[in-house]
């Protein structure tokens, strides 16, 4: 049986803020959808959903987003994350968001 993913759901104490952050990073729009926030997938990518819930605590993330496949270089990607409110970024490292997800 074939399975296709429409979107992945991230739980966050502030799903609207999380959706706004990632929509800005990916250059897309977040829209409220049935109590969750949804970022529609671009061609060849999966959609993102953000719903209210707790974080994973001290456990490692089981899923992460790859930003290296975007059409911009790493420095521009990091600058975009910082512009969107991300923190802990260095020119040679990935961007870690201060808040969920």
Q: What is the 3-state secondary structure (H, E, C) of 70-84?
A: CCCCHHHHHHHHHHC
Closest by CA to 26, choosing from 76, 87, 96, 99, is 76
Q: What is the pLDDT of residue 60?
A: 78
Q: Hey, what are 75's tokens? A: 């420095």
Least trusted range by pLDDT, from 20-29, 79-88, 91-100: 91-100
Q: Where are the domains of the chain?
A: 1-54, 66-96
Span 37-83, pLDDT tens digits: 999 888 888 899 999 998 777 877 777 777 765 567 777 888 888 88
Q: What is the pLDDT of residue 94?
A: 42
Angle 5-8-11 from CA coordinates, rounded to 5° = 160
Pick 95 or 79 by higher pLDDT.
Answer: 79
Q: Kindly tell me if the per-residue pLDDT of 95 is higher than 50.
A: no
Q: What is the pLDDT of residue 68?
A: 63
| Local structure of 31: helix, strand or coil | strand
Q: What is the pLDDT of residue 30?
A: 95
Q: What is the pLDDT of residue 84?
A: 86
| pTM of the model as a whole | 0.73
CATH of 1-54, picked from 3.50.50.60, 3.30.1330.40, 3.30.56.10, 3.30.720.120, is 3.30.720.120
């Amino acid at each position: 049986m074939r399975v296709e993913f429409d979107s992945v759901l991230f739980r966050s104490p502030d799903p609207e803020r999380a959706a706004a952050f990632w929509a800005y990073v990916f250059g897309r729009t977040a829209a409220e959808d049935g109590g969750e926030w949804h970022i529609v997938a671009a061609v060849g990518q999966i959609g993102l959903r953000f719903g209210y819930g707790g974080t994973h605590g001290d456990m490692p993330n089981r899923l992460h987003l790859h930003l290296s496949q975007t059409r911009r270089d790493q420095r521009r990607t990091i600058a975009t994350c910082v512009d969107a409110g991300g923190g802990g970024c260095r020119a040679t490292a990935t961007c870690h968001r201060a808040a969920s997800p």
